[in-house]
């Protein structure tokens, strides 16, 4: 029996190892306003021309704590309640790249690996030996190397790009679930309350059961 | 004043006698372990699902063009909408988790045996209703997994003899899963919980007729039964506290661990996801479906794997009390079954490879062999245990309980006790 289980386990491990083609770089995203704001700025400059953020309204940015003047600059004459649509229309993107550029407001939750996937994808560009652009994570991607990772070899410059990618991903993580921090805070209160309540219920139960002989 | 109101009601409705009969005086074996809490948890989760579901339905839009966005509207703009949605999504998993433990407890302690067959069968009906409700609810967010999961599963009904294609169209309301499917699934997803509530009532009436089984598997005499209230209400609420702690950890800190990333991509009929997986609670049955190379065979095997539990009262022919507790052979079968379920669940989750398909087929075979061997093994085990003699403490318990009962019967005959 034990031998059979070991055998089963070994088979399972080997099949799951096959399922991952490329290893993802894990990224520690920031959830503070400064990081998200930096990521937001980088995203507006580098990605917003092609990608929309349709579930984010300009008002959400302000209520999260991002500088109102910056937000006003980005939205121009659009109302506060407008969604952050892309500058490029979907049909234009299909014309230019053969594929629509997906909306990014949920992207950090829409891929296996989440934030780490997006981060690894953004910095995963390289130049193949034949001199063609390639990507370790998504080899057949149609998106050009926006952050310019494949062009630089200097360690300091690469670190700078990685930092920028991390900021962008932090923003995308926030936008995929703007209530995450509120959820965690409430969660601690709820758990604290439940621990006290359960302890009291435990005492009540013991008290009542002690009446039995 | 309250006394007068109660009296007024009692003359018109059996309130006091109902409470006394079903709660304050309802005899419950005092040796019930914490495994007996899970039925109460299931009832609680049912209420939770209905409550959160009704509020979600106030903001949700069942329309292929709107439903994905309406979920994001709930998650982002509705006050505490994220809480409602995560409670409901996590609640579905919690429901299955609790029900599977409830079923495992019944199997382990042999609670399905005479006279509790009807109780067990109403439970089987509840399981089917729960599965149908969860399956239809999963379509509503209209993500990639919602769409492709519903497509794959409704497609299975093609296996119906002669009218297969018609049945599939009838279920979907269209040739493919689309708006007609979404609206009907929403309507039924709202209806089924109320059918479940009705079936739970029947389940409870059956329970209160035959009373709870208990870990010893022996019908206990009156002295070992205690009133449900306050003893088991106190115990159930303490258990509920523990359950809610686990539930809250998932709702507040790990809600996305139970949602497939692909379901955060809007449904796209033109693009099949790399690999389609159902929710975790369907994985073992899904693995059985995939293990049979032929589609009709797979559907039959899957249906049988869910329905086979109903046959347990007849498959298990042993009269030794106490389920797996006093039965070494049955206990081994039980644990093999649990491990087999886990293996099947894992195989259902990973993308199929020749290796994993083979493991899945072996696990499927083991699954059915366990049930097929049971009538034979339970009889052999019974004979062996009878010959060897039951453990002394069991013998003693059976004897003392029957002595207690005959004493009571005698006193009753003499008119001592009512």
Q: The CATH number of the domain where A122 resides is what? A: 1.10.760.10
- Kindly tell me if the per-residue pLDDT of A16 is higher than 50: no
pLDDT-derived band at A47, boundaries 50, 70, 90: very high
Q: CA nearest B207: which of B127, B108, B106, B104?
A: B106
- Kindly tell me if the per-residue pLDDT of B319 is higher than 80: yes
Contact between chains at A106 and B248 (C-beta distance less than 8 A): no
pLDDT tens for residues A53-85?
Answer: 999 999 999 999 999 999 998 888 899 999 988
Within 8 A of A209 by CB-CB distance, chain B residues are 231, 234-235
* Partner-chain residue, chosen from A109, A190, A201, that has the shortest CB–CB distance to B237: A201
State the Cα–Cα distance between residues B26 and A192, nearest whole angstrom: 34
pLDDT of residue A5: 42
- Kindly tell me if the per-residue pLDDT of A34 is higher than 90: yes
Contact B232, A212 (CB under 8 A): no
Within 8 A of B355 by CB-CB distance, chain A residues are 11, 14-15
Indicate the average pLDDT of chain A. 87
Contact A175, A35 (CB under 8 A): no
Contact between chains at B359 and A195 (C-beta distance less than 8 A): no
- Kindly tell me if the per-residue pLDDT of A19 is higher than 60: no
Rg (CA), chain A: 24
- Kindly tell me if the per-residue pLDDT of B405 is higher than 90: no
pLDDT of residue A197: 98
Q: Tell me, what's the ipTM?
A: 0.90
Percent of chain A's residues with pLDDT above 90:
64
Select the more confidently predicted residue: B408 or A52: A52
Residue A210: give the domain boundaries.
182-213
pLDDT tens for residues A120-143?
Answer: 999 999 998 888 889 999 998 989
Residues A74 and A107 in one domain: yes
pLDDT of residue B416: 60
pLDDT of residue A23: 84
**Lookup: tokens for B149:** 């999961």
pLDDT of residue B254: 97
Query: What distances in angstroms separate CA B401 from CA B216, B344, B367, B396, B408, one per listed residue?
Result: 11, 42, 37, 8, 11
Within 8 A of B265 by CB-CB distance, chain A residues are 106, 110
Contact between chains at B261 and A111 (C-beta distance less than 8 A): yes
Residue A10 lies in a domain: no
- Kindly tell me if the per-residue pLDDT of A94 is higher than 80: no
Residue A53 lies in a domain: yes
Query: Helix crossing, B354-388 with B283-291: angle to 10°?
Result: 110
pLDDT of residue A13: 43
Indicate the average pLDDT of chain B. 94
State the Cα–Cα distance between residues B76 and A174, nearest whole angstrom: 12
Residues A136 and A193 in one domain: no
State the Cα–Cα distance between residues B68 and B141, nearest whole angstrom: 5
Domain extent listing, chain B: 30-259, 275-412
Class of domain B275-412: mainly alpha
pLDDT of residue B417: 53
Only one residue has tokens 């005092």, namely B30
- Kindly tell me if the per-residue pLDDT of A3 is higher than 70: no
Contact between chains at A191 and B234 (C-beta distance less than 8 A): no
Shortest Cα–Cα distance, A178 to chain B (Å): 7
Half-sphere exposure of residue B207, counting CA atoms within 13 Å on the CB side? 21
State the Cα–Cα distance between residues B103 and B323, nearest whole angstrom: 13
pLDDT-derived band at A93, boundaries 50, 70, 90: confident
Residues A209 and A117 in one domain: no
Residue A37 lies in a domain: yes
State the Cα–Cα distance between residues B305 and B308, nearest whole angstrom: 5
Q: Which of residues 142-161 of A touch B (CB under 8 A)?
A: none
Residues A141 and A205 in one domain: no
The pTM for the full model equals 0.92
Residue A5 lies in a domain: no
Interface A:B, Cβ pairs < 8 A: 99
pLDDT tens for residues B161-213?
Answer: 999 999 999 999 999 999 999 999 999 999 999 999 999 999 999 999 999 99
State the Cα–Cα distance between residues A35 and B172, nearest whole angstrom: 47
Within 8 A of A198 by CB-CB distance, chain B residues are 238, 241-242, 244-245
Highest mean pLDDT among A187-196, B382-391, B395-404: A187-196
Worst-scoring range by mean pLDDT, A7-21, A178-192, B91-105, B350-364? A7-21
pLDDT of residue B42: 98
Select the more confidently predicted residue: B76 or A100: B76
Residues A150 and A55 in one domain: yes
- Kindly tell me if the per-residue pLDDT of A15 is higher than 60: no
pLDDT tens for residues B39-82?
Answer: 999 999 999 999 999 999 999 999 999 999 999 999 999 999 99
pLDDT-derived band at A17, boundaries 50, 70, 90: very low
Q: How many domains does chain A have?
A: 2
Contact A161, A152 (CB under 8 A): yes
pLDDT of residue A21: 57
pLDDT of residue A10: 45
Residues A174 and A82 in one domain: yes
Contact between chains at B252 and A109 (C-beta distance less than 8 A): no
Residue A4 lies in a domain: no
pLDDT-derived band at A208, boundaries 50, 70, 90: very high
Residues A121 and A74 in one domain: yes
B2-19: average pLDDT: 94
A18: contact with B, CB 8 A cutoff = yes
State the Cα–Cα distance between residues A168 and B128, nearest whole angstrom: 46
Residue A16 lies in a domain: no
pLDDT tens for residues B134-161?
Answer: 999 999 999 999 999 999 999 999 999 9
Contact between chains at B237 and A205 (C-beta distance less than 8 A): yes
Catalytic residues of B: 208, 212, 235-236, 279
Instruction: Name the fold adopted by B30-259.
Output: Cytochrome Bc1 Complex; Chain C (1.20.810)
Select the more confidently predicted residue: B406 or B254: B254
pLDDT tens for residues B223-253?
Answer: 889 999 999 999 999 999 999 999 999 999 9
Smallest CA–CA distance from A117 into chain B, residue: B261
- Kindly tell me if the per-residue pLDDT of B31 is higher than 50: yes
DSSP B373: H
């Amino acid at each position: 029996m034990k031998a059979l289980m070991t055998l089963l386990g070994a088979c399972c491990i080997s099949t799951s190892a096959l399922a991952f083609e490329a290893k993802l770089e894990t990224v520690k995203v920031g959830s503070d306003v400064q990081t998200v704001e930096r990521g937001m700025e980088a995203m507006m400059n580098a990605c917003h021309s092609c990608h929309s953020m349709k579930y984010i309204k300009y008002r959400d940015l302000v209520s999260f704590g991002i500088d109102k003047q910056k937000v006003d600059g980005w939205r121009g004459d659009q109302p506060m309640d407008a969604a952050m649509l892309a500058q490029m229309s979907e049909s234009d993107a299909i014309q230019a790249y053969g594929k629509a550029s997906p909306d990014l407001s949920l992207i950090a939750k829409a891929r296996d690996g989440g934030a780490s996937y997006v981060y690894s994808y953004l910095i995963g560009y390289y130049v193949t030996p034949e001199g063609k652009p390639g990507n370790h994570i998504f080899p057949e991607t149609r998106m050009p190397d926006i952050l310019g990772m494949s062009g630089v070899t200097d360690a300091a410059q690469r670190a700078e790009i990685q930092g920028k990618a991390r900021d962008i991903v932090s923003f995308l993580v926030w936008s995929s679930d703007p209530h995450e921090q509120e959820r965690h805070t409430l969660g601690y209160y709820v758990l604290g309350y439940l621990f006290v309540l359960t302890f009291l219920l435990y005492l009540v139960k013991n008290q009542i059961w002690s009446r039995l002989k | 004043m309250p006394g007068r109101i109660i009296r007024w009601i009692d003359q018109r409705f059996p309130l006091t006698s109902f409470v006394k009969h079903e709660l304050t005086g309802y005899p419950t074996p005092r040796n019930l372990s914490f495994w007996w809490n899970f039925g109460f948890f299931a009832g609680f989760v049912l209420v939770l699902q209905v409550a959160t579901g009704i509020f979600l339905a106030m903001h949700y839009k069942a329309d292929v063009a709107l439903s994905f966005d309406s979920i994001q509207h709930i998650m982002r703009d509705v006050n505490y909408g994220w809480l409602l949605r995560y409670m409901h999504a996590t609640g579905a998993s919690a429901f299955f988790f609790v029900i599977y433990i409830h079923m495992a407890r019944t199997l382990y302690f042999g609670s399905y045996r005479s006279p509790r067959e009807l109780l067990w069968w109403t439970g089987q009906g509840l399981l089917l209703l729960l599965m149908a409700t969860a399956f239809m609810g999963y379509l509503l967010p209209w993500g990639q997994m919602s769409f492709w999961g519903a497509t794959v599963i409704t497609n299975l009904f093609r296996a119906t003899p002669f009218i297969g294609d018609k049945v599939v169209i009838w279920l979907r309301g269209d040739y493919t899963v689309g708006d007609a499917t979404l609206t009907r699934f929403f309507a039924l997803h709202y209806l089924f919980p109320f059918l479940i509530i009705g079936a739970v009532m029947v389940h409870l009436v059956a329970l209160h007729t035959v009373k709870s089984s208990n870990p010893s598997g022996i019908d206990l005499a009156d002295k070992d039964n205690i009133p449900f209230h306050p003893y088991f209400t106190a115990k159930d609420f303490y258990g509920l506290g523990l359950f809610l702690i686990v539930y809250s950890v998932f709702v507040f800190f790990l809600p996305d661990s139970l949602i497939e990333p692909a379901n955060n991509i809007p449904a796209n009929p033109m693009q099949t996801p790399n690999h389609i997986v159902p929710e975790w609670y369907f994985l073992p049955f899904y693995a059985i479906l995939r293990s049979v190379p032929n589609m009709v065979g797979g559907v039959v095997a899957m249906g049988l794997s869910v329905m086979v539990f109903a046959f347990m009262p007849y498959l298990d022919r042993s009269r030794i009390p106490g389920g797996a507790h006093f039965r070494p052979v049955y206990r081994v079968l039980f644990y093999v079954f649990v491990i087999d379920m886990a293996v099947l669940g894992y195989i259902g989750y990973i993308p199929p490879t020749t290796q994993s398909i083979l493991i899945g087929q072996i696990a499927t075979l083991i699954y059915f062999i366990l049930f097929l061997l049971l009538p034979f093994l339970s009889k052999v085990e019974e004979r062996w245990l009878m010959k060897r003699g039951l453990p002394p403490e069991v013998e003693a318990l059976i004897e003392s309980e029957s002595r207690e009962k005959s004493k009571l019967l005698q006193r009753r005959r003499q008119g001592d006790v009512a």
